Structures are given as structure tokens and as C-alpha cells.
Structure 1
Amino acid sequence: MGETAVPAAPEASPAAGEGISAAHVRRTFGNVVAVDDMGLTAPAGQVTALVGPNGSGKTTLLLVLATLLVPDAGEIRVAGHDPVREPREVRSRIGWMPDAFGTYDTLTPREVLQFVAAAYRLPRDRHAARARELLALVHLEDLADRPVHVLSRGQKQRLGLARALVHDPGVLLLDEPAAGLDPRSRIELRGILRDLAADGRALLVSSHVLAELEEIADRAVFVDGGRTVDEHDLTELRPTQRRPWRLRSLDQESLLSRLDGLGVTVTGQPGPAGVDVMLAGDEEAADLVAALVRDGVRVVECAPAAGTLEAAYLEMTEGRR
């Protein structure tokens, strides 16, 4: 995956329009309630992060949005269409990337993409070119003609993203897209997803890698126990509890001594990365840095030890420990 702009398919599918909206969605499996009362919005032109612990209903909701499960109740629109009453219209407008890649292992990546292009009825004379474009986008040219079963987990994830983009969908549903990717591929994935949103698509991304989500997401939807707990624009997300901040100075012994003098408790063991303290937010951090500098401590770094999204998630799941 690289910095090349995402190539559009010929006769591209309709734009995302209204993106995704869902309200009061419920889905059970016998006596098990997987999704109880879930709702969210994922606007066009933005990346929406779907955040929640294992078993919270994230994948079930994505399967409902992708027309692969029928909900027991709820009002849903994907690109302006109802997945239950208008599944064909929805499928033509979405790109679905599940958390596990599924295809015939004896096919090659090139054959997989050409098969999907045929399934979406792209012009026959464009199948090979479209596969070539997407293989270049996700950096699989060297493996284009090897059987899929020789690909690593991360390489299959990259192929899964290419497969979801074949028909240039207006809405993307991505379940753990960064799973198995190496650090470079993760960085490149972020760039591709941001480019897709900038082109006006709606992206709904579920992942446990919260630091990655914070790098790409515009909004976050928090779910737990099959219910939506909260929705926020990331610019407005502010954890309410104290959380760890990391301080680093040119002289750690002086830093530790002055923190003790100021009555600030250090959490964990100080190390090369710095010293962690519990602070309530930006104002308390700014006041602490000002006090340290006045006392001659040469502070070179002061930042949250965990991202805003991670801190908010930990607050939400505090009672589950």
C-alpha cells in the first residue's frame, strides 16, 4: 500500500449519499441477544470508528449493514437504501471487508479481483486493468499470480481491501482492517482510508487498535452489551477521569525530585520513555509543566500516555474489569 490515489472503477457505483444511519437495531441468535438497541450515523466524507469490547455486537451490526444478516428490528439506511427491502441496491454501493479473508485458496490475487470485477459486472475489457490497479495500490504485484493460500495474514488483509474497492463503492464497512499488517502497511492503510473519505465516501471501521483508529477517524461510536453507549466527533471527545500523562526531561532525577516536592504521584516505574503521572486534563498538565520549568526542570515532553480514544474507551469499560 502506498501514497498513490485510490483508482476509481469504470462506471463507478453511486456515491455514498447519506452515508449510514441506524436506529434501534436488534438481532438475536436464539436466546442470545447480540445487538439489543444499537444506533449510529456514519456520514459521507468521514471515517467513523466503531469501538467496543469483544462481544459488544460490533461484527453483528456490520453484518446487518452489509445485508448478510436480517435484523429483528430497527430502522437502517445505507447510502439511502434499506438493507432488508433493497439488498441489491445496498450491495452495489458498499465495499465489505470482513475480519477474516474468505475465498478459494487455489485462486491467485489477480484471479480473485477479476472474479469480483465480473460479479459486479464491470466491463469485461476492464477486469484485468482494474485488478492490476488495485494490486499496485496494496503492494501485491509480486504475489499477483501466486495461490492465495501462500499469502500471510497481513497480505490477505491487503487483498481483502483491494477486493472491497473493485467496484468503487460509496460506503465501506471494514472489520479489523489492520489485523496482521506490518507497521509500514498500517501507515499506508491510514493514508488510503483518509483518501477514500476525502473523496466523499462513508467509512465505518471496527478495530481493537485504538491508536490506529485515532489516527484516521473523524468520529467514534462506542458500543457495549449490544447497545450504543455514546457518539462523538473526535475533536469534541474529552475523557472525564484522570489519566496517565508522560513527562520527560533532560535530567530524570531532578524531575522525580521536584514531582515529589509538588506532591505529584508517579505511577509505574520511571524508564527511558519518561515518567507517568495522573492528571485531569490539559489545564492541569500546563500548570504542572509551568511549575517544573520555574523550578529549573528542563522538560522536553509532556503528553497523554494514552490517546483520547483509548482513554474514553477505558472509562467506558471500567466496570468490566
Structure 2
Amino acid sequence: MVIGRTSGLSYARIIGTGGFLPERVLTNADLERLVDTSDRWIWERTGIKERHVAEPDQTACDLAELAAWKAIEAAAIAPQEIDLIIVATTTPDRIFPSTACLLQQRLDIHDSAAFDIQAVCTGFVYALSVAEKFIRTGSARTALVVGTETLSRIIDWNDRTTCVLFGDGAGAVVLQASPEPGILSTHLHADGSYHQLLTVPAGISEAYERVKQGEAFIQMKGNEVFKIAVRTLERMVEETLAANHMSQQEIDWLIPHQANIRIIAATAKKLNLPMERVVVTVDTHGNTSAASVPLALDIAVRDGRIKRGDTLLLEAFGGGFTWGSALLIY
């Protein structure tokens, strides 16, 4: 599905970003004491040195709230101006109400639409696309979009193939209707035929006994996922540029999902973009799923790398499989 801007309607423009990482840091050296692995093995294959892990009493909504307040402050708006809240998460606080509703209550916002989106690592790009459509059609003026995860709750810390990859965190953006260019297009896709390659094979309606026994963990066939991700993201780059009649040289920054440095480097190569123009946080964050793109965006905005007027390509690939991109002027 590809949805671009309709003539005469407002753009959705990012006016504030925010991010939050739990205080606890888990290094590769720490993992060496848990499972049969090594710092060198993890670093060479993934580009990860450390990741942040939420405390037992920290929830996805806790992380989302702290990221959201930073985005609201950066946007210089009152929370009550927000008339749409979308939270992308794989690890919601509760089955219901949605994490978006819980976040809405904490921000003292009332009556606005609030709901969650679950597209795993592509969740933030999906949520950004949905929020942009609300604004572009006049159904909302100011939207808060958050990606937040406590993936450490669904990790088997005895499985060295997955426990080294993931971390916790939250990132947020505030979007607002604007006559100035913002989001130019979004591109969303999925193919459920690959669902067994990256999955948590238990839930409320399936294999619930595994949930009750604390055995609902991420399972991944890493080599197969890697190959498909690289090929798919290459096609995504081509699709996004073609839809906007743009060349590779017009992209200022690539902000990819932070899953694996080799996947990131392959996408940058497809864009003919030097790694200096790619925002990389996988080394210190690990894979934070729906939180990884907004976290990387926030860091690059706050350290001054990304400036107003820059053209950004956001892209992600995740379980489902789902994949998506957003091209925007910051």
C-alpha cells in the first residue's frame, strides 16, 4: 500500500521528537556470563555492544510517557493540543485498555482518539503513516506517535541467538498540520507467509499455556530473516525514490530500523550513501523494535546532525513479515 499527499491538503510535519532509554545497561560482557557467547562474536555479527533493559516495575507505558513528554516539550505545545495518540508496541502493558489510552490518561489528555498499532519492528513507520493520513485529511491537527518496547519480557535469556539482539526503550514524535512540506509519502507492506521465521509462537488465543508458564519468547531463524530483509529493503528504497521522482543523491539522512549493522550497511550501499549519513544506534541500543526508528531520529535531531530542511528516509523491517518506509522533509 502506497499513500502519498493529495493536492490541496495539509502536510503532516514533525515539530518535536523525544526518546527515553532505561537506566540499566546490559553489555556484551554481561551476556558472556549468562550464555555461551562472546563480545567479539556479538559485535562482528550484529554491531551491538550494549543494550538497555527496563526494571521489573517499568512498563512500556512508563517508557512511552517519558519519551512523549520530551517530544511535547520540544514541540513547544500544550498536551491538550494533541487530538490523536498512536502507540506502536509489541509489548503493551495490558491486553486492554490500549497502551495509547493509558498514556493519554498520564498526559491528562481527554476525548482525543487513542489506539495501538502492532507491526513489530515496522510499527512506528506504520503508526506514522496512519497519523499522517489523519492530519492530511483534516481528521486531526496534532498527533503524538510513540514507539515503545519492553522486549526483555519476551526474551529467553538462555537462547544466545536472540538474547544478544534486543533491548528496551521508547521514542516519540509530535506531528502537526502544516503548509510546509513534511511527510512526502509512506510505503507499507506485509507478507504473512513468512510468519514462522520471526515469531513469538504463543498468545491469548493460541498456545496460552506457554504464556501462563512464562515460555512465550521470541524465536528467530536469523540467517533466513537477514537475507529476506536485505532484499526487501533494497526494493523499498527503489519504490520510495521512484514514487517521489527523486534520486539517491537527494537523500540527506537514512534512519533505519536498528536490527543489525550489516542490514543497515546494505541499505546504505543501495542508496549510495556513506555511513556518515546514516544514523546508527544499534551499537548502544540493540534492536528496540518499534522504538528504534524514533529513538535514532531523536538522537540525531538533538545532537544537531539532522537540521530543518533535511530530507530523511525512514525504513524498517520486522516480524510478520512487515516492512515500510517514510520519506519526509524535517
Which structure has more RCO (C-alpha within 8 Å, separation ≥ 6)?
2
* TM superposition score normalised by structure 1: 0.24
